[in-house]
Amino acid sequence: MDKVMSNKKMIALYVLPSLLLIMAVVYIPIVLTGYYGLNEWNGIGAMKFVGLDNYSALIQDDNFWSSAGHSLLLAVFSALSLILYLIVAMVLSARLKGSNLFRKIYLIPMLLSSVAIAQLWLKIYHPTNGIMNSFLESIGVANPPAWLAEPSLVLFALFIPILWQYAGFYILIYYAALKNIPTSLEEAAKIDGANAFQIAYKIKLPLAMEVIKVTIVLAVVGSLKYFDLIYVMTDGGPNGASEVMASYMYHQAFRAYDFGYGSAVGFFLLVICLIATWIIRKMTVTKDTIQYS
Amino acid sequence: MTSTTAGQLGGASRGKGSSVLLKLGYALLYIVLIVVAALQLFPLVWLLFFSLKSNQEVFNLPPLSLPTNPRWENYGKVWSAGNIDTYFLNSVWITVVATALTVVLGSLVTYAITRMKWKGSSLVLGLFMVAMMIPVHSTLIPLFSMFNKAGLIDHPLSLILTYVAFNMPITIMILLGFYYALPREVEEAAIIDGCSVNRMFFQIVLPMTGSVIATTSIINMIYNWNEFIFVNTFISSDSFKTLTVGVQNFIGQYTTDWGAIGATLMISILPILVAFLFLSDRIVEGMAAGSVKG
Amino acid sequence: MFKKKWSITLMTTLCLAMVAAGCGNNGNNGANNEGSANGGAAESDSKKVTVNFMHLWPEGVSAGQNKIVNQIINDYQAEHTNVTIKQEVLDNEQYKNKLKVLSASNQLPDVGVTWAAGFLQPYVEGNLFTPVDDVLGGELNGKFVAGTTEAYAVDGKTYALPLEFNIAPIYYNKAIFEKYNLEVPQTYDQFKQVVKTLSDNGVAPIALGNKDRWTGSLWYMYMADRFAGQETLSKAIKGEASFTDENLMKAATEVQSLVDGNAFVKGFNGLSNEEAKSEFTNEKAAMYLMGTWELPNWTTNADIPQEFRDKVGFFKFPTVEGGKGDINSWVGGPGVGLFVAENSKVKAEAKAFVEYFVTKWGEQSVTGAGVIPATKVDTSALELPQLYIDLFNEMNQASSITLFADVQMPANAAETHLNMIQSLFGKAVTPEKFAQEHDAAVAK
């Protein structure tokens, strides 16, 4: 068995094409981004090597840290919302009448492009004739807030469409993971007198654990580099209240023509993602050993 | 899903007293499910109405009201605006090719990482994971100059390579969770029978992972279908552009034609909706096929 | 059936693709640089050439412009049978991004669209645009409105030829003004009275979409012009004077007092210009300060109801008592212009095309697309809506036209300016801090 499964030629054949592709298409840009970050460069003229100047400026840049704070907050919210997605997936994967139809309907929003989602939520949040404020006014709330113009509210107002946008993605993964659990295990538990909650908690959850761990990493990394809806809906405003790391990177590089500094932000973002992933791996591994010991 | 199986969720060991409660619980559950389903369908309906409005109505009428004179001509405008058929075909084939490549290559890598024994497998996995941590806008300038030097600018291969590379990490991550859970017994038996790695992968493992392949295919398909930053950056000829560019046709220097954008979005969502409904059923089938062999 | 052979074929194809990409990367600029070394100005007429032209007038929404562009191209190709003009169309935002990416690799199209001053400067410094003074000195000599080509000049050389020229009046809804017995304000005090009356009656006085930030900048610019005078404002923007000037500070303070007086639509800092404009066209807001590029919407655009179009009038930004500004001083300037790339292989043809394009554009753009060109227009020979004629007259009478601050400043300072504008309107900064940040940004 071991001999067949450690055949170097086969391993190379399976892994190398993809690895080479990633190296060329993703790693060259990563390395170059790191390099641009060491230069003063407007993206057009000549580069001027400045060493770690951009990074030391970054460390002292309040605007960057507040955008990093917003990204981290989004990451925490995304990770927490996984619980909700998991519950929905559990309900959908149960042998419920019509669950097949419900599953399809629930996943439809994920087909929409960000352009459509942004427009939809702009209409929901519109300060005077948006769905949200029309509703609030109809139940007697006087002068409801302008959701996207209020620095203290804007970030949370944006989280809702972002979490909604990704719901389908995670529900789909969880659904597939739960459906992958052999029905025989569930049947056996039922015979032993376990109820639905016990089956969910004691059988389904542990068996889907590997998938759940992966989704935590995906949710956190995805949130840390999140850009789409924020860019369209608020462009980081008002007064930078919804600026996140990726939009800050974009503003520096493409708006302020400071490609060196923008690249430093991009590279720093990658480092933060790495640290976050490392922490998650550590945490989930510990959890694992407790569960199975 | 038949009605007889519906009751199994609650388990069999309950007394008569709780069965009323149980029914109440089910009723409540269904109400919640239906309300949420309505909410999830709302965007599609909204988009349809949106696509039938003029700019005035888009901003003035409540989002869920049908305009008095539905402007079906928005669709005509979109269709006659030229090149949309080319864009459409490009979207289809680029999405299909990139999705297929990503899922197959990603499965091979995941298989090698989770099932085969070799030094450096965790390092390679790490390399793939790091690759999903770079913001897209950081990669545009380096990628453009790279493809430019390779003569791939304004060539669909630049898009396919980029899509495959950028979606590979997330695909592998998702596959990973599933591969860890696959039972090893079948493979062991196959090896004893003298089965080669290739046959084992393509004839045993791939069919067992049908549900996750459908899942990752859906995800890849949606990403590739809606992608526009790379298209705009790498492609300049109309003959290679994709449907997402169609939206831009209605964003002007000072004004935007929202109704036409809605119509473009509506047209572009239909094929992917069909593909999704088809693949979505494969998730369950894939699972069934897997469990037969597993 | 998936067989070994199949999978190997797949692998090989992919590896080959990889190698192609990899090799090219190390291959030191191989094929694509050839020819770019010599500008190729002396190409013979018979030789077939392609001129790449990148612009931002898509067929769908900028139908008027797009039609003119295509007509000019067709005419030009008919007259110059050896030349093919290849177009690439992107929307505004994507266009700017792509231009940036293309310039980083020195791959600009032969002819493209650019903005003035601060936008253009890095491209000039990076040696990417070629001077077009020869074109300007040729048949086009004296055809441009005074002051327009200067916005594209760096160190005495002109690097692009403008296509548009705009000023920004305050548009207002005549019906709403009539309903509340309001007169067009001449002074700022009267203006504040108008705002107060409207606001007291539950009508949003001013439509402003300050998510886009340059919209709020227009208000600040006018305020600064009227309080401190055109000269002081211009000097401050150029870094020759401080934004802490007493009158400039008053302007910033006054912006905030307008905000306090509910002068702007609810949630203006979260609204895009597009959304704000709809508040005005849907008659929910009474005034809207915007460039003359909106004129088609108030005159010829059939998508907007005729009865609304008839209600739109305009007035000049009122003067401030004791202020140094002049009522005929405007904020505005040239919009987009055409550049020719320095390393274009077909520079001569590109320049000839630009010259042809600018001339034809000047003849057709007002009637065909409602765009006011930067070349002089003989209004007496054209049949134009009254609003156009009035604004053409205003342009001719203008005592000065200050270029939009975000266009004028270098990109970096412009970004700070725009962010500060949003913060000023959102009352997140004091006028003092606003001034200091500007001074620091301009000095960089």
**CA proximity to B83, closest of C22, A91, C60:** C60
Return the number of other C-beta atoms located less than 10 Å from residue A158's C-beta: 24
**Distance between CA atoms of A148 and A132, rounded to whole angstroms?**
12
> How do residues C52-85 score in pLDDT, each as one tens digit?
999 999 887 777 888 999 999 999 999 999 999 9
Neighbouring residues of B208: CB distance < 8 A, sequence distance ≥ 6: B182, B186, B289, B290, B293, B294
Which domain does B180 fall in, by range? 81-293
pLDDT of residue B240: 92
Task: Check whether C434 has a pLDDT greater than 80.
Answer: yes
What confidence tier does C35 reach under pLDDT thresholds 50, 70, 90? very low
Q: Which residues 239-268 of chain C have a CB within 8 Å of chain A? A: 265-268
**Distance between CA atoms of B218 and A175, rounded to whole angstroms?**
13
In this chain, the answer to whether the domains covering C48-164+335-377 and C167-332+394-443 adopt an identical fold is: yes
Report yes or no: B140 at the C interface, CB cutoff 8 Å.
yes
Which residue stretches of C63-173 are H helix?
A: 63-79, 92-104, 117-125, 133-137
Q: What mean pLDDT, rounded, does chain C reach?
A: 88
Residue B193 belongs to domain with CATH number: 1.10.3720.10
Give the pair of three-digit tokens for residue A172. 């789909």
What would you measure as the largest C-alpha separation in chain C, in angstroms?
88
C267 and A237 within 8 Å at the Cβ level: the answer is no
Residue of chain A nearest B273, judged by CA positions: A111
Report yes or no: C29 at the B interface, CB cutoff 8 Å.
yes
Contact C158, C149 (CB under 8 A): yes
Contact C218, C298 (CB under 8 A): no
Angle CA B209–B215–B219, to nearest 5: 140
- All structural domains of chain C with their residue ranges: 48-164+335-377, 167-332+394-443
Look up tokens 């990899």; give the residue: C22
Chains that touch B (3 or more CB pairs under 8 A): A, C
Angle CA C227–C229–C233, to nearest 5: 100
B264 within some domain: yes
- Higher pLDDT, residue C141 or A158: A158
What would you measure as the largest C-alpha separation in chain B, in angstroms?
76
Task: Check whether C11 has a pLDDT greater than 80.
Answer: no
C104 and B251 within 8 Å at the Cβ level: the answer is no
A227 and B135 within 8 Å at the Cβ level: the answer is yes
What is the number of structural domains in chain B? 1
Residue type, B116: M
Give how far A154 is from chain B: nearest CA, Å.
21
Task: Check whether C45 has a pLDDT greater than 50.
Answer: yes
The separation between CA A286 and the C-alpha centre of its own chain, rounded to angstroms, equals 23
Give how far A55 is from chain C: nearest CA, Å.
18
> How do residues B190-233 score in pLDDT, each as one tens digit?
888 888 888 888 888 888 888 899 999 999 999 999 999 999 99
What confidence tier does B285 reach under pLDDT thresholds 50, 70, 90? low
Report yes or no: B112 at the C interface, CB cutoff 8 Å.
no
B266 within some domain: yes
A147 and C270 within 8 Å at the Cβ level: the answer is yes
Return the number of other C-beta atoms located less than 10 Å from residue C205's C-beta: 25
Nearest Cβ partner for C58 among B161, B236, B249: B249
A210 and B180 within 8 Å at the Cβ level: the answer is yes
pLDDT of residue B10: 42
**Distance between CA atoms of C423 and C272, rounded to whole angstroms?**
16
Neighbouring residues of C268: CB distance < 8 A, sequence distance ≥ 6: A149, C208, C209, C210, C216, C276, C425
Give the pair of three-digit tokens for residue A256. 């302020």
pLDDT of residue C4: 47
C14 interaction partners in chain A (CB closer than 8 Å) = 17, 21
B203 interaction partners in chain C (CB closer than 8 Å) = 2
What confidence tier does A44 reach under pLDDT thresholds 50, 70, 90? confident
From the CA atom positions of chain B, what is the Rg in Å?
24
Query: What class has domain A62-292?
Result: mainly alpha
Give me the mean pLDDT over the C285-311 stretch: 93
> How do residues C200-233 score in pLDDT, each as one tens digit?
999 999 999 999 999 999 999 999 999 999 999 9
Report yes or no: C96 at the A interface, CB cutoff 8 Å.
yes
Q: How far is CA A50 from CA A35, A62, A259, in A?
A: 11, 21, 13
Whether residue B169 is preceded by a cis peptide bond, meaning omega within 30 degrees of 0, is no
What confidence tier does A280 reach under pLDDT thresholds 50, 70, 90? very high
Give how far B193 is from chain C: nearest CA, Å.
18
Residue of chain A nearest C284, judged by CA positions: A128
CATH code at C167-332+394-443: 3.40.190.10
Give how far A153 is from chain B: nearest CA, Å.
23
From the CA atom positions of chain C, what is the Rg in Å?
25
Query: What class has domain C48-164+335-377?
Result: alpha beta
What confidence tier does B47 reach under pLDDT thresholds 50, 70, 90? very high
Q: How far is CA B291 from CA A189, A273, B198, B211, B282, in A?
A: 18, 37, 21, 11, 14
The pTM of this model reads 0.90
Q: Which residues 318-337 of chain C have a CB within 8 Å of chain B? A: 335-336
pLDDT of residue B294: 35
Nearest Cβ partner for A172 among B11, B50, B215: B215
Report yes or no: B101 at the C interface, CB cutoff 8 Å.
yes
Q: What is the three-class DSSP state of B251?
A: strand
Contact B229, B140 (CB under 8 A): yes
pLDDT of residue C44: 47
A17 and C11 within 8 Å at the Cβ level: the answer is yes
Residue C187's φ and ψ, nearest 5 degrees, are -115, 165
Contact B244, A113 (CB under 8 A): yes
Residue type, C105: S
Give me the mean pLDDT over the C155-167 stretch: 94
Q: How far is CA B38 from CA A134, A160, B34, B41, C223, in A?
A: 19, 17, 6, 5, 50
B262 within some domain: yes
pLDDT of residue B16: 57
Neighbouring residues of C20: CB distance < 8 A, sequence distance ≥ 6: B150, B152
pLDDT of residue A164: 92
Q: What mean pLDDT, rounded, does chain B reach?
A: 85
Angle CA B119–B123–B125, to nearest 5: 110
Q: The complex's ipTM?
A: 0.91
A254 interaction partners in chain B (CB closer than 8 Å) = 137
Cα torsion C344, C345, C351, C357: sign: negative
Q: What are the respective helix, strand and coil percentages of chain C, to the nearest 5? A: 50, 15, 35
Give how far A45 is from chain C: nearest CA, Å.
4
Q: How far is CA B226 from CA B219, C12, C148, in A?
A: 11, 29, 41
Angle CA C331–C335–C340, to nearest 5: 145
Nearest Cβ partner for C101 among B141, B228, B237: B141
Report yes or no: B153 at the C interface, CB cutoff 8 Å.
yes
Residue type, C357: F
Tell me how many residue pairs between chain B and chain C have CB atoms under 8 A apart: 132
Angle CA A187–A192–A196, to nearest 5: 65
**Distance between CA atoms of C390 and A43, rounded to whole angstroms?**
43
The crossing angle, in degrees rounded to 10, of helices B84-115 and B258-293 is 30
**Distance between CA atoms of A9 and C135, rounded to whole angstroms?**
64
C122 and A240 within 8 Å at the Cβ level: the answer is no
B142 and A32 within 8 Å at the Cβ level: the answer is yes
pLDDT of residue C39: 38
State how beta strands C49-55 and C111-114 pair.
parallel
From the CA atom positions of chain A, what is the Rg in Å?
23
